[in-house]
Amino acid sequence: EQIRDTLRATFKSGVTRPLAWRKHQLYQLARMAQNEAEAFCEAIGKDLSKPRTEVLMAEVGAVIDRTIKSAQQVDEWAKTEYPEVPDWQKGWKPTLLKAPKGTVLIISPWNYPMILTFQPLIGAIAAGCCAVLKPSEAVPHFSQLIAELVPKYLDPSAYHVVNGAVAEATKLLELQWDHIFYTGNGKVARIISAAAAKHLTPLTLELGGKSPVIVDSAYDMELAAKRILWGKCNNSGQICIAPDYILVPWNKQEELVQGFEKAYKTFFPNGALDASHYGSIVNDMHFNRLSSLLDRTKGEKVTQAMQGRRDASRKRIEPTLVKGVADGDSLLEEELFGPVLPIVPIDNLDEAIAFINARPHPLVLYAFTEDPIAKQRIIDETQSGGIVFNDTFQQLAVDELPFAGVGESGHGYQVMKYTFETFTQLRSSIDMPKEAEPFLQMRYPPHGPEAVQALTGGVYQSIPPSSPTGK
């Protein structure tokens, strides 16, 4: 509580308001990521056995890139806006002030700890908020590292790292925050929602789910397989936007399987089990969970390269392909969050859409098709946080798109300007001049007949004709 109150006092003092101050903090964050890149690679490597290249690209590099770009754009984002209004209201000076929400809480997960902690923080800093970071206890080296580095690089009176497990998290949630940004799973999201409700705290929930992949029979199966497998292998499938399961027409299943085998052999000429550029499962609990799901599947394991060897001692599972998976299978029960790729053969697009709609809204829907009619049908007839055609994972490189879920995959946006807006109160304002008084005079009682006429006249605006069929 003391930490929160210190941050609140800092916020109240107004020190986070000047843009120059915010930009400096952002550049400091970039410097921290750049100067300490090795330390981050080491810590995350210890916690997750994540390959160095992946850490540099998806975590360190992404943080630096977005921090610098945000510092360059914060003037634009924070600018007070004056919306266009009809002439008679122009003198009222309608204004949109970009007010920082205040003191916020950012809770991040273990799988991409650096980008998922600092990306929301970038928006909070840019918006002029103070923030508490609560990283995951499942990545102890990373959490310890940022507890040391953040006070060195950023202003400790405005940004603070709190480490701990359930007890500390619970304590944090009992307090009032001006916004809570949570990335994780639906179960904990509900706990956080309940705590936030008590204080009427607005929330961003970045959750997960089973992100389906629709593969159209006309698409190049080899290319689809390559692009899907690449997305699946990142962090061994332990990411909210990993392609979770595939829907492909029956008559193309074998071809797709062959495409996967071919791609796998080029990615991992000696198999993934001992490959230094392939990650491990985060802990024993998840390793056992995935093993159990695989043991229970009624789908057909492939006999070639992607049969999925496992090593419990090192918590490693190779990318595993399972074909002929049907509704009700163990692999369709929950978000896999691992390197298992079930293929669910279907008859046609109708069936694929129905299959997806029978399940909770995914965070992202992937579709491999070049048919514009199929694309439009998928857009119109399904719901998902985002929709990606003809690749996987690449949407993360896009700064200009809002990233969010719907339904069970969450709500609230992030990335660049959208993160800034998440932590900003759009505070509207007008300034009524004295000179407007003669114009406003007739609104005051008592209302004579002319006043009544003038004030009630608005209802008689002419309404254009229309019909239900639009004709």
Segment lying near another protein (by CB under 8 A), choices 86-94, 141-149, 161-169, 332-340: 86-94
- Chain positions 205 to 234 lying near another protein, rule: CB under 8 A, are 205, 207, 219-220, 223, 226-227, 230, 233
Closest CA to 247 of 377, 352, 389: 352
CB atoms within 10 A of CB 256: 25
- Chain positions 13 to 32 lying near another protein, rule: CB under 8 A, are 14, 17, 20, 23-24, 27, 30-31
When asked if residue 267 is in the footprint of another protein (CB under 8 A), the reply is yes
CB atoms within 10 A of CB 397: 11
CB atoms within 10 A of CB 64: 18
Vertex 383: Cα angle to 382 and 387 (nearest 5): 90
CB atoms within 10 A of CB 26: 23
Rounded Cα distance between 248 and 226, Å, is 15
CB atoms within 10 A of CB 107: 24
- Chain positions 300 to 339 lying near another protein, rule: CB under 8 A, are none
Locate 359 and state its tokens.
């399940």
Give the one residue of 7, 10, 16, 33 binding another protein; rule: CB under 8 A: 33
Catalytic residue among 206, 318, 335, 408: 206
- Chain positions 334 to 353 lying near another protein, rule: CB under 8 A, are none
When asked if residue 429 is in the footprint of another protein (CB under 8 A), the reply is yes
- Under 8 Å CB-to-CB from 433, ≥6 apart: which residues? 91, 92
Q: How far is the CB of 438 from another protein (least distance, A)?
A: 12
Q: How far is the CB of 164 from another protein (least distance, A)?
A: 23
Q: How far is the CB of 299 from another protein (least distance, A)?
A: 26
- Chain positions 350 to 409 lying near another protein, rule: CB under 8 A, are 357, 370, 375, 379-381, 383-391, 394-395, 397-398, 400-404, 406-408
> Is residue 450 annotated as a catalytic residue, yes or no?
no
Give the one residue of 43, 48, 62, 133 binding another protein; rule: CB under 8 A: 62
Q: Which of 285/452 has CB closer to another protein?
A: 452
Give the one residue of 36, 47, 54, 216 binding another protein; rule: CB under 8 A: 54
CB atoms within 10 A of CB 421: 19
> Is residue 318 annotated as a catalytic residue, yes or no?
no
Give the one residue of 142, 159, 268, 423 binding another protein; rule: CB under 8 A: 268
Q: How far is the CB of 295 from another protein (least distance, A)?
A: 28
DSSP reduced 3-state for 144 = helix
- Chain positions 163 to 202 lying near another protein, rule: CB under 8 A, are 178, 186, 189-190, 193-194, 196-198, 200, 202
Q: How far is the CB of 110 from another protein (least distance, A)?
A: 21
- Chain positions 92 to 131 lying near another protein, rule: CB under 8 A, are 92, 94-97, 99, 101-102
Binding marks (x or -) toward another protein, 135..154, rule CB under 8 A?
Answer: --------------------
Q: Are strands 243-249 and 316-317 parallel, antiparallel or unpaired?
A: unpaired
Please name the residue that has the structure tokens 């550049």: 27
CB 25 within 8 A of CB 66: no
When asked if residue 449 is in the footprint of another protein (CB under 8 A), the reply is no
Q: Which of 127/331 has CB closer to another protein?
A: 127
Please name the residue that has the structure tokens 């060195």: 152
When asked if residue 435 is in the footprint of another protein (CB under 8 A), the reply is no
Rounded Cα distance between 49 and 256, Å, is 30
When asked if residue 269 is in the footprint of another protein (CB under 8 A), the reply is yes
Q: How far is the CB of 297 from another protein (least distance, A)?
A: 26
CB 300 within 8 A of CB 329: no
- Under 8 Å CB-to-CB from 52, ≥6 apart: which residues? 41, 45
Catalytic residue among 41, 59, 240, 318: 240
Buried-state track 191-229, b at ≥16 Cβ within 10 A, e below 16: ebeebbeeeebbbbbbbbbbbbbbbbbebebeebbbbbb
Segment lying near another protein (by CB under 8 A), choices 145-153, 243-251, 302-310, 453-461: 453-461
Q: What are phi and psi of 369, to 5 degrees?
A: -160, 150
- Chain positions 271 to 290 lying near another protein, rule: CB under 8 A, are 275, 277-278
- Which are the catalytic amino acids? 206, 240
